[in-house]
Amino acid sequence: MVPLARLAYLLCGDRHLAEDLVQSCLVKLYRAWPRIESPDAVHGYARQVLLRCWLNECRRPWRRAESRTGIVPDQADDGADPALGVGPDVKESLRRALAEIPPRQRATVVLRYWSQLSVTETAAILRCSEGTVKSQTARGLAALRAAVTRQGGDAVLPKESIR
Amino acid sequence: MMDDKHLTAGLSLLAEELTDPAVDIDAAIRTARQQAHHRQAVTATAAGTVLVMAAIATFVATTDRGADTVGGPPSCASPSQRPDGTKSGTRPSSGKSEPFDTATIVDPPPGATITAQSPSAQPPSTDPCGPVDGQRPAEWKVDQRATNLTEQLAAANLIPPNLRISRDDSVNTRAIKGGPPPALEFGTLTPDGGSDRPLDYTAFAKLTDEQGAAFLRIEIDKGEHGPASVPFGPCQPGSPVCTTKDFADGTKAAWHTHIGDAMGWNQIMGAVRPDGTTIVVSISVWPDTQLPDPTRPEVPLTPDQLYAFATAFTY
């Protein structure tokens, strides 16, 4: 549950929307349960349903959507890990940069770099070709890099989909 | 220098901000069961309706009373000939804070037939004649204010003459009972089950030229929102994805888009007038993100043309 909710959170950047997306996902998952091949397939199918719910959400008029501005964590930010060279400034730059890139590029980057899915697995979830995943990842990283640079961040993102 | 590992770490830090998600398993199960029951009832009703219509058609044909008046209506045009659609994408309140209860996990029913099904073979998530995931069926209504707003839009003459205007038959209007409303005519949308939000006025249109189609949506309301600058966050000075504009009459507006391969596949202009009228104009060449490509290389209206909508309406 928590990993699914965190995936939703990375996709949409809003806690309440993420919870709503997971709720919608669970409803669809329950109804589709008899068709799911095996327990191992549940995770992939759940991610697929979640992505679909979120991409549909992206079509909604903005004024019907909950506020997604100035996202503030519910708790104090004590998660920075200096050992990994990722400080709070980098995290905030990344947050704002993610909000600027198109939904499918954002989804691809999150699935590849946070969920650690392969190109094949990501293509199955997004229902597209592996080539599309690679190009969307490359473009997403380029867009992130441009956004972070505009914000004055000193983080340099990976060149492209090198994984 | 941030490499793969740092990007992953950064995303992990963001993700870890979300703790104890408020997700109601029991409510999800109840909703799913209600949807299944409703779909069964709707299917039975639709089947019965089809039989009745077929009987009527046969009767008219045999009595030679103008069979051409009873024909196959356009798909999705007549509420009596398509399902009402399920109440999918319900949004239960997120206020419930009970932790996730593993005891309520639903296991596959014992002895359930497990069929191999690849993601690509799964049935589509939407009924082509019904609402898409996340949309509730909605009733379209036109009142006097809607008529007034339609006249204001026509008088403003904001659509370039090179664009052909037609009904928006995209996913944007699929939830509307009776099919897409006339292009650039305002009405209100009332979702099934009512709404706890005041109604606003909406107009749709498809704008087409030799490069492809774009989908326009205009929403007019009053008094609900403050400065219209926050669809995607505050506008940073110098940002290529947003701008703001203050008009001489006191109207404040903002324009937003996404940066991407082709700049601005989806653009939004929001404005608030001194009398509280709010105007939101969204134009998209990628209304259905399930499609692999946009419907046009770029939107056919410039930011300035979108800004022109900001002062065209009075609620």
Could you tell me which residues are beta bridge partners of residue B280?
Answer: B219, B270
CA dihedral B231, A79, A107, B26 (to 10 degrees): -90
Find, among B275, B161, B177, the residue nearest to B222 by Cα: B275
pLDDT in tens, A27-46: 888 877 776 667 667 777 88
pLDDT of residue B221: 84
**What burial letters (b/e) apply to B21-46, b meaning 16+ CB within 10 Å?**
bbbbbebbbebbeebeebbeebeeeb
- The tens place of each residue's pLDDT in chain B, 315 residues long, gives 456 777 888 888 888 888 877 777 777 777 776 766 666 666 666 666 666 666 666 666 665 544 444 333 333 333 333 333 333 333 333 333 333 333 333 333 444 333 333 333 333 333 333 344 445 567 899 999 999 999 999 999 999 999 999 999 887 888 888 899 999 999 988 766 555 555 678 999 999 999 999 999 998 888 654 434 334 445 767 777 778 899 999 998 888 775 443 445 678 888 888 988 888 888 888 776 556 677 888 889 999 999 999 999 999
pLDDT of residue B155: 96
DSSP symbol at A63: G
Over residues A116-141, the mean pLDDT reads 87
pLDDT of residue B297: 80
**What burial letters (b/e) apply to B108-120, b meaning 16+ CB within 10 Å?**
eeeeeeeeeeeee
Task: State whether residue A119 sits within 8 Å of chain B by CB.
Answer: no
Indicate the angle between helix axes B25-63 and A15-32, nearest 10 degrees.
60
Q: How many A-B residue pairs are in contact by the CB < 8 A criterion?
A: 247
Q: Do B28 and A143 touch (CB under 8 A)?
A: no
Interface test with B, best of A27, A28, A120, A144 (most B CBs within 10 A): A27
Q: Among partner residues A20, A68, A128, which is closest to B94 by beta-carbon distance?
A: A20
- Mapped to the 3 state alphabet, what secondary structure does A70-125 carry? CCCCCCCCCCCEHHHCECHHHHHHHHHHHHHCCHHHHHHHHHHHCCCCCHHHHHHH
Q: How confident is the model at residue A104 (pLDDT cuts 50, 70, 90)?
A: confident
pLDDT of residue B37: 67
pLDDT of residue B190: 75
Q: Do B18 and A2 touch (CB under 8 A)?
A: yes
Q: Among partner residues A22, A73, A84, which is closest to B17 by beta-carbon distance?
A: A73
Structure tokens at B164: 């052909």
Kindly list the residues from chain B whose CB atom is less than 8 angstroms away from the CB atom of residue A63.
200, 219, 221, 224-225, 231, 270, 278, 280
Q: Which of A75-89, A100-114, A140-154, B113-127 has the highest mean pLDDT?
A: A100-114
pLDDT in tens, A50-76: 888 887 777 655 444 333 433 344 444
Q: What is the ipTM of this complex?
A: 0.77
The secondary element (H helix, E strand) that includes residue B268 is strand B266-272
CB B247 within 8 A of CB B310: yes
Alpha-carbon distance of B299 to B294, in angstroms, equals 10
